[in-house]
Amino acid sequence: MEKLVIHGGNKLCGQVSVSGAKNAAVAVIPAALLVNGKCRIENVPKIKDVIVLCDILSQLGAKVEYAGENVVEIDATDLAYHSAPYEMVKKMRASYYLIGALLGRFCKAEVAMPGGCDFGSRPIDQHIKGFEALGAKTKIKNGIITASADRLCGAQVYLDVVSVGATINLMLSAVLADGVTVIENAAKEPHIVDVANFLNVMGANIRGAGTDVIRIKGVRSLSGGAYSIIPDQIEAGTFMVAAAATRGDVLITNVIPKHLESITAKLVEMGAKVEEFDDSIRVSCLPPKTLHKANVKTLPYPGFPTDMQPQIVALLSVVGGTSIMTENVWDCRFQYIDELKRMGANIKVDGKVAVIEGVGCLSGSPVKATDLRAGAGMVIAGLIAHGVTEIHDLHHIDRGYEDMEGKFVSLGADIRRIVCGKK
């Protein structure tokens, strides 16, 4: 087992480069199962979720090679299996994309119900509604979802909730179906556009990704090609908040500033300075500048991302005034607040609302990462706290951030990973 040890109080200054987007990579990699031929995928983040997913693809019979620092080549031409059992998929939520990809490829998929971060109930009814609209029969038995059809036919699907996963899964199952599929009330996150762009480069016909109506005209087959994953919006946002929180000055490179607008707007509202360039963004908040309270509501893109909620709450916990965080995407994403309270934060949670009284400063303490983004929030809390913070349960952070502590160290943070006994 490992833990992060942070001596708080250092300003972050300098330049840091953002890796490829986790939530795009974990969809593009299964999407390669639909392709006859080799897909070269660049700017792939080196994170646990990607390693697990690549391993699953190999076990399914795809050829998977790490062809460079952040490059993965996948050739699923001779894919052998349509079935991904529990032992394979239990470690990650995004394994649900295997259902759409295998269904699209073989008209048959058997995939165990996914694992991943625990935010309360995580239904997949909208994914299933979409598969059934395309003509698949589905059942869930003994923890396995089975979807099968003689053939898949395009259909019009209106999603009852704006769901990233259901939107992508439907695209995956529809690209090789007969006829046209229209997804209405689709999610608009940057990674949805990225998956559509990847599939289009491989020969698919998808229009409208990034709007709430996506049209997919089925094609006979996809063939190989090269594609580069977009930069990670949430990793970039994490550095933006960390720069402001430590009253530092950081240039964050390899970003798409447009994807960061809701985060930029909130930091500016709080008093930070944010400058946008073509593919970088600079956040500074050097003293005597101070930050003040803000109310934040998480929403699907282009709203403020739920995956930035713990990071901004860590910052709000030390600024002047009373802030209100309203979580509108997940039922239960405040588990980490007890950990922040150990560090002296004054936060009251009532249902989907957290009321945060700024306390001026936090004090270092042992805490755990209760999930991936909560872990990022605890790191920011540790960076601004007085004294030493130890963060346990790092496997959550390792699922989604490439070399997080290395990047923070390069900005001047005092943060070390140490081995702390066996699990």
- In the complex, the residues that contact ligand EPU under the rule CB under 6 A are 23, 26, 93-94, 117, 122-127, 161, 163-166, 187, 306-307, 329-330, 372-373, 400
Q: Which is nearer to ligand EPU, 235 or 249 (CB)?
A: 235
d(CA 181, CA 158): 11
Q: Which is catalytic among the residues 39, 54, 107, 117?
A: 117
What are the strands of the beta sheet with 35-42, ordered from one edge? 63-68, 71-75, 35-42, 222-228
Q: Rounded to the nearest whole angstrom, what is the least distance from the CB of residue 191 to ligand EPU in the complex?
A: 6
d(CA 241, CA 308): 9
Which CA distances in Å does 257 have to 15, 56, 241, 354?
16, 33, 14, 28
Q: Which is nearer to ligand EPU, 121 or 142 (CB)?
A: 121
Instruction: Retrieve residue 405's tokens.
Output: 């502590």
Q: Rounded to the nearest whole angstrom, what is the least distance from the CB of residue 202 to ligand EPU in the complex?
A: 20
Q: How many residues does the chain have?
A: 423
d(CA 335, CA 313): 12
Q: Rounded to the nearest whole angstrom, what is the least distance from the CB of residue 228 to ligand EPU in the complex?
A: 18
Q: Rounded to the nearest whole angstrom, what is the least distance from the CB of residue 24 to ligand EPU in the complex?
A: 8
Q: Which is nearer to ligand EPU, 238 or 365 (CB)?
A: 238
Q: Which is nearer to ligand EPU, 166 or 354 (CB)?
A: 166
Q: Rounded to the nearest whole angstrom, what is the least distance from the CB of residue 324 to ligand EPU in the complex?
A: 20
Residue of 416, 360, 370 whose CA lies nearest to 392:
370
d(CA 384, CA 12): 10
Element (H, E) at 215: strand 213-217
- Active site annotation includes 420: no
Contacts of 173 (CB under 8 A, 6+ apart): 99, 100, 101, 103, 104, 130, 131, 134, 136, 152
Nearest-CB residue for ligand EPU? 165
Q: Which is nearer to ligand EPU, 70 or 163 (CB)?
A: 163
The residues annotated with a catalytic role in the active site are 117
